[in-house]
Amino acid sequence: MTIDEQYEQLEQTVRAYNPSADFDQIRSAYEFAKKSHEGQKRKDGSDYITHPLAVAQIVAEELRLDSESISAALLHDVIEDTEATHEQLSKLFSSTVADLVEGVSKLTRIQYATKEDEQMENLRKMLIAMSKDIRVILIKISDRLHNMRTMEYQSPQKQKQKSLETMEIYAPISHRLGMQRIKWELEDLSLKYLDPVGFQEIVSKLGAKQAEYDEFMNRTQAQINQRLSELEIHHKVYGRMKHPYSIYRKMFNQNKSLDEIFDLFAFRVVVDTVGDCYNVLGVIHDLYKPILGRFKDYIGTPKPNGYQSLHTTVMGNDGIPFEVQIRTQEMHEIAEYGVAAHWKYKQNGQGAGTEGKYEWVRRLLENQEGADAEEYIRSLKIDMFADEVFVFTPNGDVQNLTAGATPIDFAYSVHSAVGNHMVGAKVNGRIVTFDYTLKNGDIVEIITSKAAKGPSRDWMKVAKSSEARSKIRQWFKKEKKEENIANGRAAFEAELKHCGVPMKDVLDQENLPGLLKRVSYGSLDELYASIGYGGFTAQKAVNRMQGELQRIAKQHQMDKAAVVPVEGTPDVVRPVVPKRVKSEQGIIVEGLDNCLVKFSKCCTPVPGDEIIGFITRGYGVSVHRADCPNAAPERRKIPGQEGRWIKVSWGSDTNESYPTSLEVVCKDRSNLLLDISAALSTTNTFVVGIQFHSTQDQFGMFHLEINVRGSQHLREVMNKLNQISGVLKVTRPAG
Ligand code: MN
């Protein structure tokens, strides 16, 4: 056949199912491709254009696709192998044709390496996801089919490699798309190169008996036909032989010889009603001897995917066993088209099934039957993997990530150590930012360094996958243990205040083990660390300790009443005031060692503040800021009390966190609280509480209770808050 004859045949094939196809476009696509590939030869010596022509023929014959698909099939190699560009194709034909050709070229460029099963599944998904338009993958499969049909001229190495790819990628995709015939052919062609000996054995054995088999098939089919007609059961009978690869797999899996395979032949009887299915079964078992244990009723008990049929294996009259499948027309369509047929029947209000996700498959199949093909197929978009993205590692592994994933997600999906040591990322060889959104087929490379500081808390917001976020959280839990303990401790102590239990009582060896038992932690540090990284909350801890704490509080009050001799009324009923622990709080009290120190609640001093102490009755020294109204110079002179003011100073061993509060006066606007939280978080400030009081004139005041390291940290926080638009004034409350 000459090239032009080959083209004429293509036009005829298209005309037969789509008389209104755009033959002008198809012809000019053919002519453009012929010119572009001019001088190029295939491995067998023929002109290159014979290949695109053959691919277009498959696209038309097997898939009955629209004009643009036929044109794109003719042009499918011009971007990859000639000077032609997307722009050019777009101008000459249409942007759709250009997109289709480019889509096919992209798939052609993907390099496969054989991997374990999970990797292959990811590759298949990536291919489908990359196709975006279903027609791209259909043209690509047709391309592969023709290449497999003409594989004999390739080197043995290439034959093996392509066959493996076909077996692992393209045959399963064809199956998924409901293209059984193409799938079988791809499998058989692949087997031919992957196991030439095994393949030849099957083919030659089948070949040797071909006449015998054909005769057997015809005779059996006629027998069944005749009997069913006599009984006036409306039916159709089909006979088929298993294809070589399916026989091969059975022999291999079940370790059987060809003769031992029962269902080399299968007949299918399609009838009108479920009742007839069982009638036919009776007839078959009457005609032939059933083989025990081979009957399966998938009508009574359908397969999980909805498949229904009666299966039985019987012994033919001349000793050849064969399988018979009996089903109704509806069951038949479901078996052939899977979920797509389900959908169709659900529309008619008969069956049930999964739609939505597979709707495009349904439309694809409808399109193959219907007349107004083009309209449908144009709207086909692949959204099957819309929530996933598939990218390559530098060595060709496919990582399957959440759609919208960033290099951070990728790094943590490789290994948490990769994420924790990441200092940069490259996509397709170029440096990108950490919030870059990965696309299908991207090759992603993570740059790591031993000296990396580890993840930043901002990464938690950038990462799209819960896996990455939880790994980042893990890192903070482990690496920032000190910080977590300090934060957790501050939160716990703040919460404890409400219960009126002093820290020193919690630390008491008589109380501590019981309290820890309530929260199931081995030590206070463990509890603090857990609160600090967010695995547990101070509120919960205190809640669980409630009963125990109440007992301790009562005990504490009784002790105090007994020990402290006060002039005037004993203050047993006075509510227990929050207290802070001793001098390891970082306070040096002049002339006194080891005395109880608490920070006054009115002005909440922090390290770095100028401070002064006041000796209370029974509560040790209360520390005020020097500028606190309650410690104002005139108050220090109140007769009878002068002697109780005492000089205090900060030691060198201050704690890592001190509770204090801030008042932020602002003009209320949306997202103000968000900005305030952001300022607190960027300054690493632990927030104990935030309250907002609004006033009528759209102004308001935030009262922040926070833990800080000292006055420098506090100043930093105040500066940050002051920079927020809408914030008018930030002050430390006192007095
Ligand atoms: Mn090609």
Report pLDDT digits (tens) over 379-391.
344 444 557 788 8
Q: Are 666 and 700 spatial neighbours (Cβ–Cβ below 8 Å)? A: yes
Report pLDDT digits (tens) over 314-370.
988 778 889 999 999 888 876 665 433 443 343 333 333 333 434 444 444 444 443
Report pLDDT digits (tens) over 505-527.
787 777 788 888 888 888 888 88
Q: How confident is the model at residue 176 (pLDDT cuts 50, 70, 90)?
A: low
For the segment 51-59, the average pLDDT, to the nearest whole number, is: 95
Residue 613 has pLDDT above 70, yes or no: yes
Q: How confident is the model at residue 576 (pLDDT cuts 50, 70, 90)?
A: very low
- Is 81 one of the annotated active-site residues of the chain? yes
Q: How far apart are CA 137 and CA 173, in angstroms?
A: 9
Residue 372 has pLDDT above 50, yes or no: no
pTM over 0.75: no
Helices (H), 338-480: 339-347, 359-369, 373-378, 407-414, 416-420, 459-462, 466-479
DSSP string for 189-200: HHHHHHSHHHHH
Q: How far is the CA of 110 from the centre of ligand 1 (A)?
A: 14
Domain spans of the chain, in order of start? 3-193, 203-342, 386-478, 480-559, 587-650, 658-731
Q: How far is the CA of 137 from the centre of ligand 1 (A)?
A: 13
Q: How far apart are CA 543 and CA 529, in angstroms?
A: 18
Q: How far is the CA of 78 from the centre of ligand 1 (A)?
A: 9
Q: How far apart are CA 706 and CA 435, in angstroms?
A: 31
Q: How far apart are CA 277 and CA 309, in angstroms?
A: 8
Q: What percent of the chain has pLDDT over 90?
A: 28
Q: What percent of the chain has pLDDT over 70?
A: 83
In CATH terms, the fold of domain 658-731 is Alpha-Beta Plaits (3.30.70)
Beta-bridge partner residues of 499? none
- Of the listed ranges 33-47, 219-233, 336-350, 635-649, the one predicted with least confidence: 336-350
Q: How far is the CA of 227 from the centre of ligand 1 (A)?
A: 50
Among candidate residues 81, 366, 388, 508, the one labeled active-site is 81
C-alpha distances in angstroms, 687 versus 69, 189, 535, 680? 61, 67, 16, 8
Q: How far is the CA of 135 from the centre of ligand 1 (A)?
A: 15
Q: What is the mean pLDDT of the chain?
A: 81
Q: How far is the CA of 52 from the centre of ligand 1 (A)?
A: 6
Q: How far is the CA of 25 from the centre of ligand 1 (A)?
A: 20
- Is 4 one of the annotated active-site residues of the chain? no
Domain 203-342 has CATH 3.40.50.2300: no
Q: How far is the CA of 8 from the centre of ligand 1 (A)?
A: 20
Q: How far apart are CA 336 and CA 365, in angstroms?
A: 11
Q: Are 532 and 487 spatial neighbours (Cβ–Cβ below 8 Å)? A: yes
Among candidate residues 61, 62, 80, 201, the one labeled active-site is 80
In CATH terms, the fold of domain 3-193 is Hypothetical protein af1432 (1.10.3210)
Q: In terms of pLDDT, which residue wins out, 364 or 42?
A: 42
Dihedral sign for Cα atoms in the order 91, 92, 96, 101: negative
Q: How far apart are CA 478 and CA 202, in angstroms?
A: 61
Backbone dihedral angles phi then psi of residue 151, each to the nearest 5 degrees: -75, -15
What tokens appear for 478 in the block? 């482990």
pLDDT score of 382: 44
Report pLDDT digits (tens) over 662-716.
988 887 777 778 788 888 888 888 888 888 777 656 677 888 989 998 888 999 9
Say if strands 621-625 and 597-599 run parallel, antiparallel, or are unpaired: parallel
Dihedral sign for Cα atoms in the order 56, 59, 64, 67: negative
The closest alpha carbon to 79, from 11, 43, 32, belongs to 32
Q: How far is the CA of 108 from the centre of ligand 1 (A)?
A: 8
C-alpha distances in angstroms, 558 versus 126, 159, 568, 574, 577? 72, 91, 18, 12, 15
CATH code given to domain 386-478: 3.10.20.30
What tokens appear for 535 in the block? 């695995």
- Of the listed ranges 301-310, 473-482, 594-603, 726-735, the one predicted with least confidence: 301-310
pLDDT score of 535: 75
DSSP string for 595-618: --EEE-TTT---TTS-EEEEE-SS
Residues 6+ apart with CB under 8 A from 503: 493, 496, 579, 580, 581
What tokens appear for 684 in the block? 């690493």
Q: How confident is the model at residue 159 (pLDDT cuts 50, 70, 90)?
A: very high
Q: How far is the CA of 147 from the centre of ligand 1 (A)?
A: 7
